[in-house]
Amino acid sequence: MVFWFNSDRERGRVFADAFARDLPDLPFVMDISERNPDDIRYILTWTVPPDLHRFRNLEVVFSIGAGVDQFKPQTLPPNVMLVRMVEDGIVRMMQEYVTLAVLALHRKLKAYIDQQAEATWLSLPVRQANQQRIGILGLGTLAAAVIERLKPFGFPLAAWSRSERQVENVDCYHGPDGLTLFLARTDILICLLPLTQETEGLLDASLLATLPAGATLIHVGRGAQLDHDALIAALDAGHLSGAVIDVTEPEPLPPEHGFWRHPKIILTPHIASATQPETAARAVIDNIKRHRDGRDPIGLVDRDRGY
């Protein structure tokens, strides 16, 4: 029984030390060229190795990231578990980024930075937090963590999910009918949805038009969910007043893309959150122990839902 770390060696060294300390009976390898493929039981990777069929005794594939849209259902045997990364480092960084983005939009930071460049001293009108309605698309682990971080500011909070959910002090909406009602009461829209067939292209012209005039967008889901032209059109028309974008399709954007220099967009290069090796190693080790005990790993992906 062998664990194959199929990622960069810098993070691999951190994982190797953790495995040696906490799972000394499980061989940890980064180079499998001299290993019998039949010995591989666990793989940690970002994408599916093209020769996955060689590992006839594979039991679990761990994604090194929180997303699993890069894995296609047909590439994994039905008996192999797919587990997304759920670890404290990813959660903490997403909380930091979304809070930063919310406050930047709420307090018009982009406009003040632009005024500074023009040597303009001018105060702009601002809403109180209790008048700035925040809506979160998604109610997974990251969304729940973001909600907890935003609660102390006093923003009215709402969330939308595919199926019905309840969260204390959060107005929860679900399903297609609930989406329209949710959008109509949202001033700052935060997308934290996984990429699935249902969410690809979701942030289109129709959805953006359903938001109230002057609303803003924070996009930290997946790049393929956002229609770039629709966002630029909504910003240029004045229907939306700003956006913070961390994920795009493609990545990186070409130099001539309209997002780079748009006066109402803050663009970052997919840095909202990243797997932290120390905490990720602990999460994977804990999941292997759960698997050995016959329990489902935390982050086990439902193949039908895609997350």
Does pLDDT of 28 surpass 80?
Answer: yes
How much is the average pLDDT of 264-270?
Answer: 98
Delimit the domains of the chain by residue range. Answer: 2-87+275-292, 90-267
Residue 73 reports pLDDT greater than 70: no
Where in the sequence numbering do the catalytic residues fall?
Answer: 222, 270
Residue 24: is its pLDDT beyond 70?
A: yes
Assessment of whether the complete model's pTM goes beyond 0.75? yes
Homologous superfamily in CATH for domain 90-267: NAD(P)-binding Rossmann-like Domain (3.40.50.720)
Between CA 72 and CA 125 the distance in angstroms is 48
Residues 37-56: tens digit of each pLDDT: 999 999 999 998 888 999 99
- Please report which helix (H) or strand (E) contains residue 6, including its range: strand 2-6
pLDDT at 75 exceeding the cut of 90: no
Partners of residue 42 on adjacent β-strands: 3, 60
pLDDT by residue (tens digit) across 197-226? 999 999 999 999 999 999 999 999 999 999
Structure confidence at residue 83 (pLDDT): 97
User: Residue 74 pLDDT more than 90?
Assistant: no
Q: Where are the beta strands (DSSP E) in the chain?
A: 2-6, 28-29, 40-45, 60-63, 81-83, 134-137, 157-161, 171-174, 188-191, 215-219, 240-245, 265-267
Q: Which residues fall within 8 angstroms of residue 281, CB to CB, at 6 or more apart?
A: 14, 15, 18, 19
The DSSP element (H or E) to which 117 belongs, if any, is: helix 109-117
Q: Which helix (H) or strand (E) holds 240?
A: strand 240-245
Those residues whose C-beta lies under 8 Å from the C-beta of residue 123, and which sit 6 or more positions away, are none
Percent of the chain with pLDDT over 90: 93
Q: Is 59 exposed, middle or buried (0-12, 13-18, 19+ CB in 10 A)?
A: middle
pLDDT for 303 equals: 85
Same topology between domain 2-87+275-292 and domain 90-267? yes
According to CATH, the topology of domain 2-87+275-292 is Rossmann fold (3.40.50)
For the stretch 143-199, pLDDT in tens is: 999 999 999 999 999 999 999 999 999 999 999 999 999 999 999 999 999 999 999
